[in-house]
Structure 1
């Protein structure tokens, strides 16, 4: 998938921006923050931000003198772009390979860098419910080989969820699964 995304989108900065904004579409960022994070010049990042905003893929708003950018969730291609980004990072396989086969899961979240839209190569997964951890480890090992990323996981019981909600910053996490 990486080869496909890289060949479709020739600008590395644009790929980084799409990952940043479509892994967690609620997140906002400003130009200098993105340039520093990507190790790119502000001009290179500005050019790509302007292109994506002009295409309607990103939206922006002013906060004083700072212009904040965010994924435009109302854009007709939003679901497809987000799907491509999730396939690129392997999150779609993580859900398919691990969560669907584990048993009684109350909820599951992506936290850490990926929840902030940063492709660090390590996916932090929090699974809440009754889980056979040996089986989970086996599934994660299998998924890691497919997605080319390390998966760190934490298993919590439902009654532990509230106690760790703030520490894990679940208000900024990506919800992968919510049981019925």
Structure 2
């Protein structure tokens, strides 16, 4: 659950390949329960996750555990050097089940030897393949990872 992402009904229809009516019903349930909040943007009703919901933190941790990302983030990415941001891209970022975790790492002076060792350990622990691409802060351009099919989700930020 990326708290910085927003979505509207038609974009979710395209992303999930479900009918707008089915998606609308689910969005309304989540909004009524307080997990989502909405606002008007022109003639669109835009949804975003409600980070103030008392269960947000717990649900976010559960989701990260389900896909094995909690281990990757907690035990690896915060210890590899001057890391600034980590994005999830690819199928998993689109909510599709996959055995591959694709990450974009943004930072300077990363300890790549340590990173590779830890990724290998994480892959064994979570039984998934982890692929990554690294950009220095100067090289990184968010537009590069917003290309079709990428669906970047900010998983971690130093800020």
Length-normalised TM-score, structure 2: 0.76
Whole-angstrom CA distance in 2 between matches of 1:114 and 1:44: 22
Where do 4+ consecutive residues of structure 1 move more than 6 Å?
Answer: none
Matched, 1:46 2:24: yes
In structure 1, what is the equivalent of residue 149 of structure 2? none
* Higher share in strand: 2
5+ residue gaps, structure 2, are 147-151
In structure 2, what is the equivalent of residue 56 of structure 1? 34
* Higher share in helix: 1
5+ residue gaps, structure 1, are 1-21
- What are the residue-to-residue correspondences of 1:78-97 with 2, within 5 Å? 78-97=56-75
Q: What is the CA deviation profile of residues 76-108 of structure 1, one whole-angstrom value per residue up to 9, with x for unaligned ones?
A: 111111111211222211113322553x33424
**2:77/2:83 contact within 8 Å kept:** no
3-state secondary structure, aligned to 2:138:
helix
Whole-angstrom CA distance in 1 between matches of 2:57 and 2:27: 19
Root-mean-square deviation (CA), in Å?
2.8
Change (3 A) 1:166 1:70: closer
